[in-house]
Structure 1
Amino acid sequence: MSQPQPQALLVLPHLRIQNANAIASPLTHGFPSITAFTGLMWALERKLALAGVALRLHAVGVVCHHHQEQVTHGYVRSFNLTRNPVDKDGSTAAIVEEGRMHLQITLVVAVSEKNTPDTASVLVQGNQAQWAEWARIAGETLAGMRVAGGSVLPSRAVPGKRVRPWMDIVPDDPVEAASLFRAWRRQWLPGFALVGRDDLLMGRLQQLRATHAQATLLDAWLHASRFNHQALPSADGMPAIDGQVAWGDPFRPKGSGWIVPIPVGYAALTALHPAGSVRNARDATVPVRFVESVYSLGEWVSPHRLQSLQQLLWQAETDETLGLYRCRNGYRPLPGQDGANAATGAASDWDDEEAYDYT
């Protein structure tokens, strides 16, 4: 997937989020869905427009520096829940399970300028003061918003780190852009960036179909979402002298990466309903469609392993024909440097026509 080159970068570093939503979808938990951050990006763009900041926000990247899921620790974990006040008749109120977590994250947003014929461009070299002002407004605006359902706390000073929002121009020259990106990514350490790995899901499906011809994408996703321990053969193929058998997951060898199941968007369940025809819809001025979550695989990668800005960013895509609303990421591992690909025989081609079944 190719992404357009952004004019500039808006970075909101080391945001402290309290009680963010830890349940990303009906089947996953542990980190907010990437759709929460694309939704935040669009909401921020609308608020910036009201504040007079003429920026268009295109894509967002997420780097997690710290996370603390609010759960009880042990072999079996459960969410820490709150006891709600009693009902008006004095009876005990029902407990609604809510997953919460505390986060420290950096948001990297690709932006461009909303140019008009009678105004000069601001996103050019020499306008650093204007960039700093726009970044300050963006940071103050975000401080009053919800991030994945959580509240934004004041940032703490971090020795050697920039904790205030900042902007910079993305050079047109690829060599200069790559050099500048290497300087940017050092500021996001220590941390891990969430990137998309659709290729691993297709590779796991091919691996399963080698022994189970009827395996589906759901089987492959569930298989890749868990540890599949089995007895591993010795290096020389001969039984061990002491009778000891090594156990492990052949699909997760050393160096295969931190692979996780993630929701990446939504697939339509119904046709579009006219605006105002569905009761209690959030916005009665736009058409409404019922959807379900779409899942894929993601990987947590240290920012210093990213080769370009496009590998970090997520952008939303819409396919009206398939009824597919999902987020795409431009990450592609370098040949020979991806242990997960070697273990699963990952496919490089991903066809939505084959990957989603709406029958």
Structure 2
Amino acid sequence: MPSVPQTYTISDFIEWNSKKQLLLAPDFQRGSVWSPSAKVFLIDTILNDYPIPQVYFRTNIDPVSQSMLREVVDGQQRLRAILEFASGKLKLTSKAPRHRGKTYQDLDVEDQELFLSYKIPAVQLINASNADVLEIFARLNSYSVKVTPAELRHAEYSEPVKWAIYDATREWHVLWDTYKLVSVRDSVRLKNTSLIAELFMALDDGLDDGGEHAINKYYKTRKDEEEEYFKPLRERMDLIIREILDNAEEGFKDTTFFDAPNFLALFCAVGFLRGFLPNSRATIEIEGLAGVGVDWQIGRVRLAEFAQAFDEQDDEVQRYAFFVAASKSTTHRISSRKPRFQALVKALHRNVAA
């Protein structure tokens, strides 16, 4: 059973489909389940000439009829989206900002040519049996690196909750590129989406327990929400992040506040003082400070003191004891988050002693 790696253009797949030489729903594949957003994102990837994963298909050759039938064994969703767009049935949305509102027929000739000539990497399994196909995928999967929870969510969900978080992660790339809130290695594994998800969760429900289990629950409970639901959350998130970065002094990005756990605490403190954060278990005892505003002139001094105390691991000084001790403990539990959050709220509010 030969396996032949090759590349084929999108026009090849269109031709095979029109001649009924392409089977998109063999026993190996699920039914069509991609959301419109996922389809548009793929088309945008192609129109930007970025690579997409290879597809696998079993090529059954009949020497008597001199015909070939290609059964897609991996990549059905991608090919369905491509063929749907090529037929004019898929209109691009905000997930394809350069071509928003366009169908294939609305594209410039140059973009149509780019789309049709785009090369898709593929592996042909010539006259492979079902057992051969299953064996191949068992072997491929045996070499796979275990996926992270963030990667699993990105693969599992196609609803607006995923795209709201993913788009924010991508557009706030300065947090990873410049401020190194999440390392490049972890960003490749989509762990930066976990931090952005926590920011959405705090703005939506208030600061509480976090971590991957809580993020999974948030995706699940928000999967039926439309895109409009997340827009005000995103707007508030952008305002808070921009305010923090605008007030970050030279060297501040090298402090604990640009480690993900304490950045989250700082984000929530600023959001709470701006009136953007709902009350939760973390705000008990300080509800009266919600929306009173931030004094960055004093706050910058106090944040520097917090950072120095953290660097020196000085939890003997009463003024910073709760913050330093809580920063040493698990970062996902409310028992650790609450004292750090409340200490920062008090540090950033001009009328309350830290």
TM-score in terms of structure 2 length? 0.23
Q: Which has the larger radius of gyration?
A: 2
Q: TM-score, normalization: structure 1? A: 0.23
Which structure shows the higher strand fraction? Answer: 1
Q: Flag the structure with higher helix content.
A: 2
